[in-house]
């Protein structure tokens, strides 16, 4: 019997490759933790630090492969469906159909290694390169409002920049965050990435967050949340990126396409039940078009509340007694759900609760993160812009304006100085939904990085070669 040695060798190689593929996950798990989930924060950080040291030896092509693995595992329909449903079920916030859009958006439109473009300067004295190098281990604090979206976009951006990442999820989003992190680790293992590039703890808590921030191996902190957590990371003494709160106003003047503005405002305000910090929180309308604007908003799914007693009931229901914070139980709830609590029954076509209000009203001043939209009348566009600057509270997060007057659009952009300024569109266009550009769910207004991407999570390193390259 003649044996084809080449054929045998080929078969053996295939078998061995399958064995290797099959053993990739167990080996990863054996490196410690449960697919990136550790019992203590110290264990998680130490594992991430060890992983990042290995990661330094990986090529840019490797990084691209690992980023693609994250994209692919999230975009698997079964996974996408599960994390979107679980996020709503666990947090009680938002809507499944919106989570699908946001998770898919984070997986597809978050920049990878293509964001890290090397600069070069050459001349008589040699060659200088400006490159992007990793910080090392990054500690990322994620919110309950966008738990999966933030994990996806931060994992992609931070790994693309050459870092490992330790997540400290919000306790109210524990299950979905841990599940997603384990999915990511399994996907990374299948393509040969170092184990534990993305880690967390089994029991997220304030104590574990503090332990992460104070761990010497964590070189950079990224916090996505309210003013308190942003202030904390900025006081840590470490490089910090803060993605804080907003109270986005939308201005509508007499030159705007009112019908389109009404549709865009309702769509933006109701997107994921107003959970995104970019979403329209209050409307400031020039008096001459305010009635027509509200008429069209009602046609698009807004329900107008006129009874002052009902408005007072809503205030007591959704705003805390201090008049400065929303009641958590109603954050991210639907307009239908909130209206039912004050005795008003509506159909599913109602997406936004609308009422007229004065500037000092809590609904105008407080970022509610629920589909309650006050409309404030002003005499002219200049007064509208001035008010928008005041009620945005200097967060420099997001603002919108509907106008055909380029001069006034420019004036508002200059005065309000927000990270995102959407002109003649819904707020979500600012993060790439129906608008051009990449996406992120870590929008750093307080620290100035803006819409973060891979380069936000990397150091700029200048490499200088003196002489020896003058070939001209």
> Looking at the annotation, which residues are catalytic?
277
Burial of 175 (0-12, 13-18, 19+ CB in 10 A): middle
What are 242's two structure tokens? 């803060």
Q: Quick one: which of 316, 294, 305, 308 has its CA closest to 353?
A: 305
- Find out whether 270 and 352 touch, Cβ atoms under 8 Å: yes
Query: What length is written for the chain?
Result: 472
Q: Quick one: which of 134, 180, 192, 119 has its CA closest to 153?
A: 180
């Amino acid at each position: 019997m003649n044996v084809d040695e080449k054929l045998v060798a080929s078969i053996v190689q295939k078998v061995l490759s399958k064995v290797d593929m099959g053993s990739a996950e167990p080996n990863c798990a054996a490196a410690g933790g449960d697919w990136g989930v550790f019992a203590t924060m110290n264990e998680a950080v130490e594992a991430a630090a060890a992983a990042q040291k290995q990661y330094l030896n990986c090529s840019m092509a490797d990084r691209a492969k690992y980023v693609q693995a994250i994209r692919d595992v999230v975009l698997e329909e079964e996974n996408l469906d599960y994390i979107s449903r679980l996020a709503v079920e666990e947090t009680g916030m938002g809507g499944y159909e919106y989570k699908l859009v946001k998770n898919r958006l984070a997986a597809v439109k978050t920049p990878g290694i293509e964001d890290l473009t090397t600069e070069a300067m050459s001349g008589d004295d040699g060659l200088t390169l400006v490159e992007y190098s990793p910080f090392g281990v990054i500690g990322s604090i994620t919110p309950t409002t966008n738990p999966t979206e933030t994990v996806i976009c931060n994992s992609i951006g931070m790994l693309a920049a050459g870092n490992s990442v330790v997540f400290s999820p919000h306790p109210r989003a524990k299950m979905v965050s841990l599940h997603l992190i384990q999915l990511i680790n399994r996907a990374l293992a299948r393509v040969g990435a170092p184990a534990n590039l993305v880690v967390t703890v089994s029991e997220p808590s304030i104590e574990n967050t503090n332990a992460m921030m104070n761990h010497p191996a964590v070189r950079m902190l990224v916090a996505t949340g309210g003013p308190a957590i942003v202030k904390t990371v900025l006081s840590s003494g470490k490089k910090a990126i803060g993605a804080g709160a907003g109270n986005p106003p939308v201005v509508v003047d007499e030159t705007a396409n009112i019908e389109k503005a009404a549709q865009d405002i309702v769509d933006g305000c109701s997107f994921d039940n107003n959970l995104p910090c970019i979403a329209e929180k209050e409307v400031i309308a020039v008096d001459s078009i305010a009635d027509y604007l509200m008429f069209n908003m009602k046609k698009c799914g807004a329900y107008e509340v006129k009874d002052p007693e009902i408005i007072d009931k809503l205030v007591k229901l959704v705003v805390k007694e201090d008049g400065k914070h929303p009641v958590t139980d109603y954050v991210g709830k639907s307009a239908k759900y909130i209206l039912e609590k004050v005795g008003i029954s509506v159909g599913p076509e109602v997406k936004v609760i609308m009422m007229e209000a004065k500037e000092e009203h809590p609904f105008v001043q407080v970022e509610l993160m629920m589909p309650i939209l006050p409309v404030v009348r002003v005499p002219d566009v200049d007064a509208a812009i001035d008010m928008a600057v005041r009620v945005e509270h200097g967060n420099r997060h997001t603002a919108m304006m509907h106008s055909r007057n380029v001069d006034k659009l420019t004036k508002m952009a200059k005065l309000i100085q927000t990270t995102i300024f959407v002109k003649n569109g819904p707020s979500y266009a600012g993060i790439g939904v129906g608008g051009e550009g990449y996406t992120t769910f870590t929008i750093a207004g307080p620290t100035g990085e803006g819409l973060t991407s891979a380069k936000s999570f990397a150091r700029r390193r200048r490499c200088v070669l003196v002489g020896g390259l003058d070939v001209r």
